[in-house]
Amino acid sequence: MQSVCQRVGTCSSCLKRRLNGFLGLIKWQRRLVPPCVRTIYSETGKWEKSYGLETRKRVENWWLPRLKDQVCRISETNKSRPKFYVLSMFPYPSGKLHMGHVRVYTISDAVARFQKMRGMQVINPMGWDAFGLPAENAAVEHGLHPASWTQSNIQHMREQFDALGLSFTWEREITTCLPEYYKWTQYLFLKLFEAGIVYQKEALVNWDPVDQTVLANEQVDDNGCSWRSGAKVEQKYLKQWFIKTTAYAKAMFDALSDLPEWYGIKEMQANWIGDCVGCYLDFLLKVNGEVTGEKLAAYTYTPEAVYGASHLYILPTHRLLHGNSSLKEVFQREFIPGKDSLTSVTAVNLLTDQEIPVVISAKNNFENFLDTKIGIPSTSAEDAAVAKNLGISFTEVIETLPNGLEKVINSAEITGMTRQEALKAITQQAKKKRIGGDLTSDKLRDWLISRQRYWGTPIPIIHCQMCGTVPVPYEDLPVVLPDVSTFTGKGASPLETAPEWVNCFCPRCKAAARREADTMDTFVDSSWYYLRYTDPHNRDRPFNSDLADYWMPVDLYIGGKEHAVMHLFYARFFSHFCHDLKMTKHKEPFHKLLVQGLIKNQTFRLTTTGQCLKREEVDLTGAEPVHLKTGEKLQVAWEKMSKSKHNGIDPEELVKEYGIDTLRLYILFAAPPEQDILWDAKTDAMPGVQRWQTRLWALVTKLIEARTSGTMPSPELLNMKEKAEARKIWEQKNLVISEVTEYFTKDHLFNAAISRLMSLTNILHQASRPLILHSTEFEDALASLCIMVAPMAPHIASEMWKGLAHMQNKLCTHHHWDADVLHQSWPKVDPEYLQPSDVVGMSVLINNKACGTVFVPQQAARNFEEVHELVLQSELGVKHLQGRTIKKAFLSPRTALINFLVQE
């Protein structure tokens, strides 16, 4: 599949700008660098001692294009290698990145780089959730075609991604509004249609009576009025397409137990689905003995007792009383408000062939979202009361034996079964006949996917007067959107105004027919995109099963908590469905979830009107913020960044001010991923990560200067104290490697990982000059530190590594100095560190005050006499204890501590 940028092409002016910039760069590189200008090693071969603003800019300008795309590019999948699939939820191409984008994609980028360094075959793909209402609104307001608006936005956002140093697997890019993608969305729709999991029925929509058009929920204001015409929005019944997600409710509920890494989200999914104890069964409606053609699905909590059904129960708000049903007049005539109303309409159970009356309930609501129930007196006292009150006869179908066991009676072929056996038999029969039977809850509803919009995936259905609803043949896919040029936001869907597209021929009888003019909910496009990433250029099928089986499940899925219910539910549904079609071997699509918090900033609202003010309209000099013009006190709150609230921050401006690495480190350090970040760059983590980068750079400078001082490094020249110090550095290096690796792989606590790297930085800064010059441990610890920094701050780490790699007289030979830092293997804990140590650092206290540490052999560490003697003979003992009267000494082997009480 071509990327959108490839399809759009590069305009001549853009090409000229790029060429001019490139030629300018070459000319600049050829010039001699004036002595007053900061330089970097990669440009000049000379190490710059300090990491100031100019050095930072040069480092990032140099490395940004060189690091682009190098991490996760895979020419061909090698299925023999271990894989890691990290996926961040793809964005809607609004045209501008916000700080929420920066956070989620910085996390996925750091994880991808880390896993690549661990030897994994990694994909970190990116694409565009490109259909949706904003593009159509832009067409109405600005006269831009949705395709042009979307493609322009994608191009701009790709440039923004590149400017942030984010390295995605761009060769796997997908765009949901391109026919080569939505062809396969339509293909999956047809598979659902074949399986009986897609159907059409009437449902309520928001109707603008002035513009005569359907409105999305977000186009209706808080007062219930249309955002464009201002008219009061009405509720109107239209035929809509549904996906029967309830058919998978029980399977998806049960599968949650196989998702141990879905911390917190599993409960939200379980609550959304609900307890799957009952099922829907289909009924055919009759009036005066005549079949009407109306079908109705009704819910029962006790399917095993369905032979004891007495009536079908519907609410007064049911679509049959208010929509376009042929029975509407009968129901309205026979309905008595406030009373249970027995009607002349009957319902034939398509499983049992029993015919029972339809009753309109006196209630306004049933449990949760039900509007149709099967009345079964044997299992419900309320149903029994309704039946008796209306004089409806019924049969008892549950018998309780003396031992307490309940059996089914008077129920045809399931008579004599236990209730559990009967439940299984009834639901299996109904599923086999495709008339219901899927266990679900009373709160889960089927997924309404119809949208009366242009900018969406066309529903591949043709309506024929002779043949009815006919699926478009697979060989005719994709059904491509027509090129509609005029968008008014009024009247019918824009697709209805394209007669050459709407009018077609029935694929069965070849008679004149009409295409379905609704498009699909954009959630459908995003419910299977993770599978397309595994094989994005396949022209013959949605994806190759072997490739999907290799890459799936996604090892780490990253996104906002606002998608923790609906999107994840729909994505899981499609994954289960594809598994049932033998397209994939994995049922569940995502192994582990990382749900990141929001980035919030302060909002300043006028108390009188609630209007949000811009920062420049606020006086912050006093004890409390006030309106600059009026002096009115303001309501101050931390809220999600938003343009409308005037509290957003442009990531591009932050990059200019602080740099890419600083922004990345801030995002990762300010809070654990699941928590919200309260943006306060001046007093918060920003200065901390800036200082840390300066200190990291200073460490490299120290080592380079020591190794170019003219003295050859020689570890043998270190004395006992310095060797002990080197040992401490070695131990800290191993401890930090162990902890940081765990933070990256288990909890994704990047803030804790950075904190541990900062502590190792501090320890290395305490090293003496002889240690820096002669110690292998110092060099190795600094190299390991540089490697561990690289996934999070790749630009500064790359330049520091380049300086170390070209340093003379290196002592460590196990690093691949000729390769860039991002191509190094992630550091491993030394095997010796994992073994019991040969020596123990014994803390020495004199009169309960710490004086230092003496290293003693492991085998002597629990023996009081030996420790006592070794401490007295040590340099510390000679200095602090020689010539003094020791009254008593205490040894604590567990805490490796000895305390001397001496005469003052």
Query: What confidence tier does 90 reach under pLDDT thresholds 50, 70, 90?
Result: very high
Strands 278-287 and 398-400: unpaired
pLDDT value at residue 137: 83
Q: How confident is the model at residue 17 (pLDDT cuts 50, 70, 90)?
A: very low
* Least confidently predicted of 8-12, 327-331, 397-401, 447-451: 8-12
- Show the DSSP H helices in 557-684 as ranges: 566-580, 651-658, 660-669
Looking at this protein, which amino acid is placed at residue 151? Q
Nearest to 278 by CA among 429, 464, 427, 91: 427
Alpha helices in 375-534 (DSSP H): 381-390, 419-432, 499-502, 522-525, 529-532
Q: Looking at residues 771-780, what average pLDDT do you find?
A: 95
Rounded distance, CA 826 to CA 114, Å?
A: 7
DSSP-derived letter for residue 436 is E
- pLDDT band at residue 220 using 50, 70 and 90 as cut-offs: confident
Closest CA to 721 of 504, 552, 893, 874: 874
Give the lowest-confidence range in 413-427, 542-556, 868-882: 868-882
Q: Could you report the per-residue pLDDT of 376-416, keeping only the tens digit for each?
A: 999 999 999 999 999 999 999 999 999 999 999 999 999 99
Report the SS3 class of residue 648. Answer: coil
* Chain center to CA of 708: 49
Check whether 600 has a pLDDT greater than 50: yes
Q: Rounded mean pLDDT of the chain?
A: 89
The percentage of residues in the chain with a pLDDT greater than 90, rounded to a whole number, is 66
Q: Averaged over 472-484, what is the pLDDT?
A: 96
Name the pLDDT band for 18 (thresholds 50, 70, 90). very low
The predicted-structure confidence for 698-728, as pLDDT tens digits, reads as follows 999 999 999 998 889 999 999 988 999 999 9
Any long-range contacts for 625-633 (C-beta under 8 Å, 24+ apart)? 632/606, 632/607, 632/608, 633/607
Determine the pLDDT at residue 12: 35
The band of 5, judged by pLDDT with boundaries at 50, 70 and 90, is very low
Q: pLDDT value at position 460?
A: 98
Q: What is the pLDDT of residue 58?
A: 94
Residue 731 in this model has a pLDDT that exceeds 90: yes
Q: How high is the pLDDT of residue 645? A: 81
* pTM metric for this prediction: 0.85
Residue with the larger pLDDT of the pair 313 and 492: 313
Choice among 189-203, 217-231, 382-396, 875-889 with the minimum mean pLDDT: 217-231
Q: 520 forms bridges with which residues in the sheet?
A: 450
Say what the pLDDT of residue 677 is: 85
